[in-house]
Amino acid sequence: MGVLGDAFSNMLYAIDMDGLKHPIFYRMPIAIRFEIGGEEKVYLQISEDGCIVNPAYVSEALNRAKTLYENLPQTPNVLRIDGYTEDENDVWAVISSICKMAEMPIPQEQIVQLYQIDDDTTIFQVQCYWDLADLVCSYNDLLKKIIEADIGGYCELASNVYFADTKNMVLFHLYDDRGADIAGADKEMLKRLFVEFNHWILEYDRAKINSIFGE
């Protein structure tokens, strides 16, 4: 494993996560789940010819995701995007597809490992890592692509993009247009997010989140 992969793994260990498993919020002792989709309708029109995504919905979701990202304790320094394939010979094609979808350069590190789907099925997981300090790219564009992934964009990006602050041990996971999980090693590090953006917390999980932060 390379420097970025090691740093990411150390971050997972610090936030008490045994591997990267979904849903992140329910597997973490210290985490907040935010609702990203706002009050607008997702689609303007649904017909046999297809769906027309509501730009107002995307705009509101992007505003929430961007606001949370910009208010993290520190700007994330490692980006990880995962892809999957049944054939190890297709690894480079998976990497190329990820770069095209996310409009990213070739990753600085790639890790390929077996991934167990169920008792009978194993595929290859391709982990792509970038040092965000070395990138000249717009996190805003990538957040928007994640939001659009499940509603007409590149579905492969849904749930597969992770932003990590490996110094303060914080993980930001915008899984799609519906929500984002933020997990950390120290609840005091996330307290400001809990307080300032309390109105965006997913109501379904509010009781659990309140208990984490002693409210």
> What pLDDT score was predicted for residue 1?
67
Highest mean pLDDT among 13-22, 110-119, 161-170: 161-170
pLDDT tens, 8-21? 999 999 999 888 88
> What pLDDT score was predicted for residue 188?
95
- Give the mean model confidence (pLDDT) for residues 116-128: 90
CA dist list (Å): 69 to 65, 121, 153, 197: 6, 35, 21, 12
- Give the mean model confidence (pLDDT) for residues 83-106: 95
**Nearest-angstrom CA–CA distance, 182 and 25:** 8
State yes or no: pLDDT of 134 exceeds 90. no
pLDDT tens, 43-65? 987 767 778 899 999 999 999 99
Q: Is the pTM of this model over 0.85?
A: yes
Residues 6 or more apart from 201 whose CB is under 8 A from it?
A: 32, 33, 34, 35, 194, 209
- Give the mean model confidence (pLDDT) for residues 74-99: 96
Higher-confidence residue: 51 or 102?
Answer: 102
Nearest to 5 by CA among 97, 130, 158: 130
Lowest mean pLDDT among 16-20, 40-44, 124-128: 16-20
Q: Which domain holds residue 159?
A: 3-212
User: Residue 137 has what DSSP assignment?
Assistant: -
Q: How many domains does the chain divide into? A: 1
